[in-house]
Structure 1
Amino acid sequence: MNDDARTGIGTPAPNPDNPTPAELHDQVERTRDELGQTVEALAAKADIKAQAKEKTAAAKDRAAQKAALVSDRIRERAGQAAQLVKDRAPDPLLEKAGRAATAARANRSPLLAVGAAVLVLILVRRNRG
């Protein structure tokens, strides 16, 4: 009799066809975890309301980014145009424009009232015609 035979007395040899209770328990736990993940994935796919909210939020973020980009471009172009006008306009014209802007800032209420009246007139004419 050899030493290997003596040490293995009373313990069954591991058999892949006959797993131990601990191995069965581990296998059941793994299967439960996998099943839970599968159910969560299917529930997420079936939740149309949540998908719509996610798509709406993503579209809103993209629109905000584009609006910020366009706004920056408009400010940049307006600054370039203002500088071009300043460079090419004669000094007397710039002085008169500065005085007109100062007068408009000092008398905003009448200017806003006239602007509102013109806007109302345009809207009324557009709706009639």
Structure 2
Amino acid sequence: MTQPPHDEPTARSQEELREQVEHTRHELGDTVQALADRADVKTRAREKAVAVRDHAGAKAHAWSGQARAKAAHVAHTVEEKLPEPVKQKGAAAAQGAKDKAAQAEQVWQDKAAQAEQVWQDKAPQQVRDHRAALLAGAGAVLVACLLIRRRGNR
């Protein structure tokens, strides 16, 4: 232990010795940290899982891009080979579907507006008519909650 290592020259002064000690201390700290990182299985497993997930996501993204490109190519090829009357019928059917969807949306919006108006007209009156029952129900719920909480503390 008192002999210097064979691969390192001995220090000629105290300052060189301090520098060598500091350098060795840093190397030792780095080595200990590397060993600690290797021993941390949980973190290494988490890092590996993240890497695998990222790799799988990248592959899925690439495959989806290829699938979209192939689908677009097939659709373009089919569109080129369709006879003109079939294209016209398809366009007419698509326009009819759009028109029906717009009509259905308008009917839905009208019905929703009517339901909202009925609620705004009737709800306040119903609350006033049944105020006592609503207050009694709220009180009963409050008492039940307090009893349950009190029994839970015992």
- TM-score for the superposition, normalised by structure 1: 0.62
Task: State the shift of 1:17 in Å.
Answer: 6.4
Structure 2 partner of 1:20: 13
Distance 2:64 2:43 in 1: 31
Distance 2:20 2:55 in 1: 45
Structure 2 unaligned spans of 5+: 1-8, 105-154
Deviates more, 1:32-41 or 1:94-103: 94-103
Cα deviations by residue, 1:51-92 (Å, 9 ceiling, x for unpaired): 122112211221221122111111111111111111111111
1:36 to 23, 29, 37: 29
AA aligned to 2:17 is L
AA aligned to 1:75 is R
Equivalences, count: 95
Structure 2 partner of 1:82: 75
C-alpha RMSD of matched pairs (Å): 2.4
Superposition pairs of residues 110-125 of structure 1, within 5 angstroms = none
Task: State the shift of 1:104 in Å.
Answer: 3.3
Judged with a 3 Å threshold, the aligned counterparts in structure 2 of structure 1 residues 17 and 26 are, in CA distance, closer, same or farther, namely closer
AA aligned to 1:84 is T
Distance 1:33 1:88 in 2: 73
Judged with a 3 Å threshold, the aligned counterparts in structure 2 of structure 1 residues 18 and 79 are, in CA distance, closer, same or farther, namely closer
The answer to whether 1:47 aligns with 2:56 is no
Structure 1 unaligned spans of 5+: 1-15, 111-129
Deviates more, 1:47-56 or 1:95-104: 95-104
AA aligned to 1:34 is E
Task: State the shift of 1:102 in Å.
Answer: 2.9
- TM-score for the superposition, normalised by structure 2: 0.53
- SS of 1:59 mapped into structure 2: helix
AA aligned to 2:71 is A
